[in-house]
Amino acid sequence: MKKIKKAAKSSTPSTQPAVKSKARSAKATASRPKAKIVKKRALVKSKVSAKKPPTQAAAKPPELVQPVAQTPGVTTITAHLDIGFGNALYLRGDGAGLSWDRGTLMNCVANNCWSLELPASDRPLLFKFLVNDLSWSAGQDYTVLPGESLAITPTF
């Protein structure tokens, strides 16, 4: 602007400052709309990008879960028998921690009911009852499948 004022003050008219001022004014007006157009395009692009469809990862079907093999649960053996006051009922056998050499004490649940819970096993349990871990029950050995409950009235 200073150059334009100086040219106007001089007594000799020159055309150069006028051309420069026109060029500058043309540049100024031309650059302003471009800036606005660029800003508007950026806004349009941001709105379009916000409306993009969901990604392919969200559209995938759920994966199938493999079933877990069930292991047999606790095996419960119950004996309905009154063996008298001061006596205890034992169990000997094969499988789930039982042994034929040493008996496992059963829990006295009532006057005539004894019960024992054995841990999970891979194979059927073979067992027999003993009074005070000395006197064997009569008859064949008893068998129970893993995870089942069995109630028996043994004879001596």
The count of domains in the chain is 2
- Residue 102 domain-assigned (yes or no): yes
pLDDT for the residue numbered 110: 92
- Residue 69 domain-assigned (yes or no): no
134: CATH: 2.60.40.10
pLDDT for the residue numbered 37: 53
Q: Give me the residue label for tokens 């028996």.
A: 152
- Residue 144 domain-assigned (yes or no): yes
- Residue 89 domain-assigned (yes or no): yes
- pLDDT value at 99 more than 80: yes
Task: Indicate if 44 and 91 belong to the same structural domain.
Answer: no
- Residue 97 domain-assigned (yes or no): yes
Of 30, 29, 2, 7, give the one whose Cα is nearest residue 18. Answer: 7
**Rounded to whole angstroms, how far apart are CA atoms 133 and 91?**
8
End-to-end CA distance of the chain: 126
- Residue 106 domain-assigned (yes or no): yes
Higher pLDDT, 22 or 123: 123
pLDDT for the residue numbered 7: 47
Q: Is the pTM above the cut of 0.85?
A: no
Task: Indicate if 83 and 148 belong to the same structural domain.
Answer: yes
Task: Indicate if 83 and 145 belong to the same structural domain.
Answer: yes
**Rounded to whole angstroms, how far apart are CA atoms 7 and 148?**
113
Domain range enclosing 139: 75-152
- pLDDT value at 156 more than 50: yes
Task: Indicate if 23 and 85 belong to the same structural domain.
Answer: no
What digits encode the pLDDT tens for the residues 52-94?
Answer: 555 555 556 666 766 665 666 899 999 999 999 999 999 999 9
**Rounded to whole angstroms, how far apart are CA atoms 154 and 9?**
133
Q: What is the CA radius of gyration of the chain?
A: 49
What digits encode the pLDDT tens for the residues 5-55?
Answer: 554 454 555 455 555 555 455 555 555 555 555 555 555 555 555 555 555
